Amino acid sequence: MLIKCILLLCVFQVTLGRYEPNWESIDSRPLPAWFDESKVGILIHWGVFSVPSILSEWFWYQWETKTPLLVDFMKNNYRQDWTYPDFANQLTAEFFDAEEWASLLNISGAKYVVMVGKHHEGFTMWPSNYSWNWNAMDVGPKRDLIGEVGAAIRSKTKLHFGIYHSLFEWFNPLFERDRSNAFKTQDFIAAKTMPELYELVNKYKPDIVWSDGSHAADDWYWNATTFLSWLYNDSPVKDTVVVNDRWGINVNCIHGGFLNCGDRFNPKVLQKRKWENVMTLDKYSAGYRRNAKLEDYFTMIELLTEVAQTVSCGGNILINIGITKEGTVVPIYQDILTKLGKWLTVNGEGIYSSKPWTTQNDTISNYVWYTSKVINNEPYVYAIMLEWPKNNTLVLGAPKTSSTTVVSMLGYTGGNFSWKPNPAGGIQIMLPSMNVNEIPCNDVWVIKMQGVD
């Protein structure tokens, strides 16, 4: 509710908590708590681009703009008159099992899932009334993929289910016409973007509307605040839904719900507003690439470093996996997600529902990132160690010790650690030598401190 005061006269502007179609009002909505508490989400890229499965999910655009790799690939492997839409029939999904996905996603320790409903290619992964013959029910799998995944996630897990939606489409004639009119017309918005968004929300009741593809035009062209005020006031998910910031080139990283800013945004300093680091486990592509190499994927240390830095600075991390045209999650992604889940089973106490601490990375041991949490009125500080200190002594500059300081390691059952004040300020923690059966995880360990300031 906005209250405007002129001298002593206060006008209750948005009575009954209704949001208005402007950013001041949209931004004033408190972010539903579940989102900040979740910390870890999984993004799923699946679409017609999963059929050629080479270079990236931007295949169509990259082919049209004559990227040599793709021009050669098409010349060597396909009929001369092959068009991108011809790929859709080969999005076969014959091994797709939504319940199997749900179980893997749950094992990963993530608390939410965002699935691509429509990427820039315009193909809808649900039977949209507004995407005639260019949707997963009419062509290819002949199934409602969004519906199946959403239902499996909700029936088998406690994860929140969100949908990624691209506002623009690379080659939609209506969009191209609006663009050639310098976006003074909104025919594409009226015929496609808006009906589709309302359809998605009413039909699938997503917990997140994860918008993308806004970079071609300003927010007013996309009618963003009109949609968002409906979403917040009158939609079936008005109390629980969360949105990001990709609602216009002029508002990205400024307005909306949480801030994504650019892809792979990881500022490594505390942010004022809730944000999310959207990153891809394949460093070069969100879509699955058949010719990816092992070294193209994040190692566990690299991934856990992103997790620690992101959560420490107040962010959530949205970890992308790409799906094959058959509908499978290839073993490399299964492996990473399973290991992430094992790590979070041990160390989740320092991640989920944590708050940033007064310091983000330590002043002496820069490879240590902090989070904090109050449990039963007792404040705790968690020091996430990206490396094991060389002589088993962890020297931290930021924590101020007291007579009640107690130090332990999450997942270590051999007791509390001895420590002493560091002469130059801070604390020296003596880590016991642990054998392979005692060490809680292979890499990245979390020190828990009580009674520090």
CB of 203 to ligand NAG, least distance (A): 5
Q: Which residue stretch of 3-11, 22-30, 297-305, 358-366 sits at the interface with ligand NAG (rule: CB under 6 A)?
A: 358-366
Given 13, 77, 393, 402, the residue binding ligand NAG (CB under 6 A): 393
Sign of CA dihedral 117, 319, 39, 211: negative
The residue (of 292 and 303) whose beta carbon lies closer to ligand NAG is 303
The residue (of 25 and 62) whose beta carbon lies closer to ligand NAG is 25
Residues 75-134 close enough to bind ligand NAG by CB under 6 A: 103, 106, 129
Residues 16-55 close enough to bind ligand NAG by CB under 6 A: 21
Q: Which residue stretch of 72-80, 118-126, 189-197, 322-330 sits at the interface with ligand NAG (rule: CB under 6 A)?
A: 189-197
Site string for ligand NAG, 398-417 (x = CB under 6 A): --------x--------xx-
Is position 375 an interface residue for ligand NAG (rule: CB under 6 A)?
Answer: no
Is position 391 an interface residue for ligand NAG (rule: CB under 6 A)?
Answer: yes
How many other CB atoms are there within 10 angstroms of residue 101's CB atom?
24
Site string for ligand NAG, 413-442 (x = CB under 6 A): --xx--------------------------
Residues 239-258 close enough to bind ligand NAG by CB under 6 A: none
Given 277, 305, 361, 401, the residue binding ligand NAG (CB under 6 A): 361
**Which pair of structure tokens corresponds to residue 313?**
């600075």
Closest by CA to 130, choosing from 177, 98, 180, 165, is: 165
Is position 395 an interface residue for ligand NAG (rule: CB under 6 A)?
Answer: yes
Given 11, 31, 190, 374, the residue binding ligand NAG (CB under 6 A): 190
Is position 199 an interface residue for ligand NAG (rule: CB under 6 A)?
Answer: yes
Q: Which residue stretch of 53-61, 171-179, 311-319, 388-396 sits at the interface with ligand NAG (rule: CB under 6 A)?
A: 388-396
The residue (of 157 and 324) whose beta carbon lies closer to ligand NAG is 157
CB of 312 to ligand NAG, least distance (A): 10
Residue 407 near residue 448, CB atoms below 8 Å = yes
Is position 135 an interface residue for ligand NAG (rule: CB under 6 A)?
Answer: no
Q: How far apart are CA 301 and CA 444, in angstroms?
A: 7
CB of 61 to ligand NAG, least distance (A): 25
Residues 149-178 close enough to bind ligand NAG by CB under 6 A: 156-157
Q: Where does residue 437 fall: left (phi above 0), alpha (psi -120 to 50 degrees), or beta otherwise? A: alpha
What number of chain residues touch ligand NAG (CB under 6 A)? 23
Residue 54 near residue 290, CB atoms below 8 Å = yes
**Which pair of structure tokens corresponds to residue 64?**
């049209």
Given the rule CB under 6 A, which residues bind ligand NAG? 21, 103, 106, 129, 156-157, 189-190, 194, 199, 203, 223, 226, 268, 361, 363, 366, 391, 393, 395, 406, 415-416
